[in-house]
Chains A and B, each alone.
Chain A
């Protein structure tokens, strides 16, 4: 079965199931995986920092609170804290115009914030495919640990 994660959303899966998020742009798809128990989870991060925004009840939306919440969920599903590794993808710069709010570099800031949170939580970052200027559909397979990245008009990439 393929489990779908929407924008600003998270979920977990295990065994022969897979977990996917379609059409990632400047958002980042962060995966936590326990290779021993084959349990994993994915969060679709939109913004870097929950503390800088008043309207922050959706924890899955932010890199800091989203990865923390995801950690809780994979542990609750039976993953072991010390086995966990991470893979991340996304954070593209879809347009190159300058806006006053500077949200155009948001992809980069999402990547940085995700990496920072993983460091804080002591979860090793095993692989990443980030930045660039194209969208990605990402699927993670907890049985093999493969993170598949599909792009328009380009060949499949596996990290």
Chain B
């Protein structure tokens, strides 16, 4: 195993004093797809939103412990949160294209980050669209409104909008929840290519998707990490009875 890209050490996240993630230790490695599964209120999304400090926007949020990115705690006072969110990019359940063209959706983040050179913008847009497996479908209509794309295309556009910023880690919260099986397959295929360059953390309520589309899987329950291991092992021979019970649908 290479050195982890992210190390979560003794991390607890609370909302209004109530813990949503408890004393979590977990590592995220380069070139891996880590799936997070667990029933409602298990802390999956809280964990994901802790990785790029989106929980900071909730006034009731407090935390303890550390999340180290390349050895530095992302909760240190001197961390540039905007830069952090560019490097740990998030994709949400519902794709929200901005009400502009496909091209402008993609270059918006880059312009905010200060990139102005047209050739660089074009190159980054094409690369991101290729990695998101969308280039062939939109290359001839980059200046059409993004909202004419299908749901699956919009979600891949949102993935490309994150990729264009060249993040280290791509975090996805239920990215296929509203998509048909073909669109879901395209996104899962894209994740295989994307892990060459990025670490991927995928929160999903669809355990079958975790089985198909991840290298390691972590099972969360009521804020605790119950088990993490290679996906093939977790889905054939889970170590903990509670993992097995969840996978076979006996609760959750």
> Is chain B found bound to chain A in the same assembly?
no
Task: Name B residues whose Cβ lies closer than 8 Å to a Cβ of A.
Answer: none
